């Protein structure tokens, strides 16, 4: 009868186990030592991690700060799950001193729930009032007048047109809906997809919202997206009908309702589609070959629209620098680090090396990310009309159902009335 496990196997396993136990115990491996939460250490919890644009820059500037000041900074990181991890840490009183995270969903409740402290009182004394876009301060301020966090990155959401593919199809960059429909026909006849979009996820939701905003003023849009009363807004109804017309005219790629933002980006990058509505961080991921044949513009103007120029979603929303209750007790450590984050040196590094749009005032424009630079120039010019990013208005519980509703809207055969029904149901059932 053979031994069930050979002596060598058992010895190897035992040796490995002993070695691993000693790893954490004897401190032989520095990398596995927990970040210190001591009084002299600043703990920063951020979404700049993994493969996120700017993660490398963030690591570098934190290291630079450590070297320059000799101070201890511990970095913690999460992706989209950061809010839930931060909130449970708050309950245990072990949250990081600073959180660098998006303002959406759960984080919107942080200031009111005292999970983080309002930061308006630090703006002047820390010299940040002159460093941050006034519009950003306004957008990040609660209705009660409290600044939730220091606004750090922002969102610019233009439309990318592959002018080579459009030229080959015999059309120019469309500026109106009629031109867009003609361009879609011409592109399809050449075997190229027209507008690529992730109809099944948030990217489709954003484009849908952008299209119907062509028929809404900013105030009307804010009211409609906060309440979900689409059917009582003539502008929203006109926008939804127009969306259905565009869809039925074949403006979007086939099966758009099943695609995601990743498939949208791939279709554009591979030249399978000639147009995409894309946030600037995605524009930074367009390869050089495709970027060279791309022109950045706005979404074409529909007939009888409120907007008179092509539209671009613009928002000061993005990642912010939030200070926790623990951080409020270590302001002597928090202040110099936040000032470092907003320094010209760091902002320049972010703009040049990561292609990020920043809320800090700077004259530096992206060079290695030409499409991001084009988008910034477009936003600063007067050839497009800005429309709102309604993430702050849409109730958190509605966000996901609304994306499912807009996915249905991208599906062929869904009538404007059915679209309104599913949109309103997503608000009522949430």
Partner 1 sequence: MKMPRISGFLAWGYAALLVIPFYYLVISSLKENDDIFTNPLSLPSTWDFGNYREAISSAELVPAVANSVIVTGLALALTLLLAVPAAFALSRATGRAGRLVEATFSLGFLIPTFAALFPTFLLAAFTGLFHTRTFLVFLLPATAMPLAVIILTQFMRTIPRELEEAASMDGASTLTILRHVHLPICVPGIATVVLLCFLSFWNEYLYSLIIIGPDPAQRTIQVALPTLQLTTGTDYGVLMAGTVFTLLPVFAVYAVTQRQMQKALVSGAVKG
Cα 154 to Cα 38: distance, rounded to the nearest angstrom: 32
Task: Give the count of beta carbons closer than 10 Å to the beta carbon of residue 371.
Answer: 24
Q: Does residue 39 bind partner 1 (CB under 8 A)?
A: no
Q: Given the complex with partner 1, which of 5 and 380 has the nearer CB atom?
A: 5
Q: Given the complex with partner 1, which of 21 and 113 has the nearer CB atom?
A: 21
Asked if 278 and 159 touch (Cβ cutoff 8 Å), the reply is yes
Q: Does residue 11 bind partner 1 (CB under 8 A)?
A: no
Candidates 45-53, 128-136, 146-154, 399-407: pick the segment binding partner 1 (CB under 8 A). Answer: 45-53
- H-only helix segments in 44-102: 55-69, 82-91
HSE-up of residue 369 (Cα within 13 Å, Cβ side):
26
Q: Applying CB under 8 A, which of residues 64, 78, 141, 348 lies at the interface with partner 1?
A: 78
- The count of residues interacting with partner 1 (CB under 8 A) is 56
Q: Does residue 104 bind partner 1 (CB under 8 A)?
A: no
Nearest to 149 by CA among 206, 199, 192, 86: 86
Q: Does residue 354 bind partner 1 (CB under 8 A)?
A: no
Q: Given the complex with partner 1, which of 261 and 307 has the nearer CB atom?
A: 261
Cα 314 to Cα 357: distance, rounded to the nearest angstrom: 11
Cα 343 to Cα 327: distance, rounded to the nearest angstrom: 20
Cα 11 to Cα 128: distance, rounded to the nearest angstrom: 61
Cα 100 to Cα 44: distance, rounded to the nearest angstrom: 8
Strands 72-77 and 273-277: unpaired
Cα 384 to Cα 23: distance, rounded to the nearest angstrom: 58
User: Residue-wise over 211-228: b if at least 16 C-beta within 10 A, else e?
Assistant: bbbbbbeeebbebbbeeb
Asked if 163 and 173 touch (Cβ cutoff 8 Å), the reply is yes
Strands 116-117 and 311-315: unpaired
Cα 261 to Cα 313: distance, rounded to the nearest angstrom: 16
Q: Which of residues 197-216 bind partner 1 (CB under 8 A)?
A: 202-203
Q: Applying CB under 8 A, which of residues 31, 39, 288, 380 lies at the interface with partner 1?
A: 31
Q: Does residue 217 bind partner 1 (CB under 8 A)?
A: no
Q: Given the complex with partner 1, which of 11 and 218 has the nearer CB atom?
A: 11
Q: Does residue 367 bind partner 1 (CB under 8 A)?
A: no
Q: Does residue 76 bind partner 1 (CB under 8 A)?
A: yes
Cβ of residue 308: shortest distance to partner 1, in angstroms? Answer: 30
Q: Does residue 82 bind partner 1 (CB under 8 A)?
A: yes
Question: Does residue 359 sit in helix, strand or coil?
Answer: coil
Candidates 3-11, 170-178, 238-246, 321-329: pick the segment binding partner 1 (CB under 8 A). Answer: 3-11
Cβ of residue 283: shortest distance to partner 1, in angstroms? Answer: 9
Q: Applying CB under 8 A, which of residues 7, 33, 67, 428 lies at the interface with partner 1?
A: 33
Cβ of residue 215: shortest distance to partner 1, in angstroms? Answer: 27
Interface map 83-102 toward partner 1 (x if CB under 8 A): -xx--xx-xxxx--------
Q: ∠ CA(271), CA(273), CA(277), 5° rounding?
A: 115
Candidates 47-55, 112-120, 158-166, 305-313: pick the segment binding partner 1 (CB under 8 A). Answer: 47-55
Q: Given the complex with partner 1, which of 116 and 233 has the nearer CB atom?
A: 116
Cα 199 to Cα 256: distance, rounded to the nearest angstrom: 5
Cβ of residue 375: shortest distance to partner 1, in angstroms? Answer: 14
Q: Does residue 75 bind partner 1 (CB under 8 A)?
A: yes
The sheet carrying 273-277 orders its strands as: 193-196, 273-277, 159-162, 294-297
Candidates 42-50, 175-183, 232-240, 247-255: pick the segment binding partner 1 (CB under 8 A). Answer: 42-50
Asked if 56 and 354 touch (Cβ cutoff 8 Å), the reply is yes
Cβ of residue 235: shortest distance to partner 1, in angstroms? Answer: 29
Q: Does residue 281 bind partner 1 (CB under 8 A)?
A: yes
Q: Applying CB under 8 A, which of residues 124, 232, 270, 415 lies at the interface with partner 1?
A: 270
Q: Applying CB under 8 A, which of residues 149, 265, 305, 323 lies at the interface with partner 1?
A: 265
Task: Answer left, alpha or beta for residue 54, where phi above 0 means left and psi between -120 and 50 means alpha.
Answer: left
Q: Applying CB under 8 A, which of residues 114, 138, 167, 262 lies at the interface with partner 1?
A: 262
Which DSSP category does 101 fall into?
E
Residues forming the site for partner 1 (CB under 8 A): 4-5, 9, 13, 16-17, 20-21, 23-24, 29, 31-35, 45, 49-52, 55-56, 74-82, 84-85, 88-89, 91-94, 202-203, 261-263, 265-267, 269-270, 278-279, 281-282, 284-285
């Amino acid at each position: 009868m053979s031994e069930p496990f050979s002596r060598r196997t058992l010895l190897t396993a035992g040796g490995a186990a002993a070695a691993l136990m000693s790893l954490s115990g004897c401190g032989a491996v520095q990398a596995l030592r927990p970040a210190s939460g001591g009084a002299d250490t600043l703990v920063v919890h951020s979404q700049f991690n993994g493969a996120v644009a700017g993660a490398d820059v963030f690591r570098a500037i934190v290291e630079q700060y450590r070297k320059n000041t000799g101070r201890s900074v511990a970095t913690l990181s999460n992706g989209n799950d950061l809010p839930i991890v931060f909130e449970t840490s708050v309950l245990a009183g072990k949250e990081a001193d600073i959180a660098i995270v998006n303002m959406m969903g759960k984080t919107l409740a942080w200031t009111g729930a005292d999970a983080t402290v309002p930061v308006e009182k630090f703006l002047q004394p820390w010299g940040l009032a002159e460093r941050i876009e006034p519009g950003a301060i306004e957008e990040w301020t609660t209705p009660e007048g409290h600044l939730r966090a220091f606004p750090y990155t922002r969102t610019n959401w233009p439309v990318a047109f592959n002018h080579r593919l459009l030229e080959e199809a015999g059309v120019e960059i469309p500026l109106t809906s009629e031109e867009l429909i003609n361009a879609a026909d011409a592109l399809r006849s050449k075997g190229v997809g027209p507008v690529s979009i992730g109809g099944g996820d948030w990217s489709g939701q954003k484009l849908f919202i952008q299209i119907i905003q062509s028929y809404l003023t900013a105030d009307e849009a804010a009211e409609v997206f906060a309440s979900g009363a689409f059917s009582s807004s003539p502008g929203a109804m006109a926008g939804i009908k127009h969306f259905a017309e565009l869809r039925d005219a074949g403006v979007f790629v086939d099966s758009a309702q099943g695609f995601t933002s990743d498939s949208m980006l791939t279709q554009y990058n591979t030249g399978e589609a000639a147009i995409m509505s894309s946030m600037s961080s995605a524009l930074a991921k367009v390869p050089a070959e495709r970027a060279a044949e791309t022109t950045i513009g706005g979404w074409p103007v529909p007939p009888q629209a409120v907007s008179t120029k092509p539209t671009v979603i613009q928002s000061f929303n993005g990642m912010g620098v939030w200070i926790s209750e623990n951080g409020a007790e270590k302001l002597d450590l928090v202040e110099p680090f936040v000032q470092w984050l907003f320094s010209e040196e760091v902002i320049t590094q972010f703009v040049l090396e990561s292609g990020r749009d920043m809320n800090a005032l700077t004259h530096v424009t992206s060079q290695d990310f030409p499409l991001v630079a084009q988008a910034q120039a477009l936003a600063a010019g007067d050839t497009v009309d800005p429309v709102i990013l309604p993430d702050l208005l849409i109730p958190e519980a509605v966000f996901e159902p609304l994306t499912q509703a807009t996915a249905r809207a991208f599906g062929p055969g869904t009538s404007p009335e059915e679209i309104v029904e599913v949109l309103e149901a997503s608000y009522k059932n949430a």
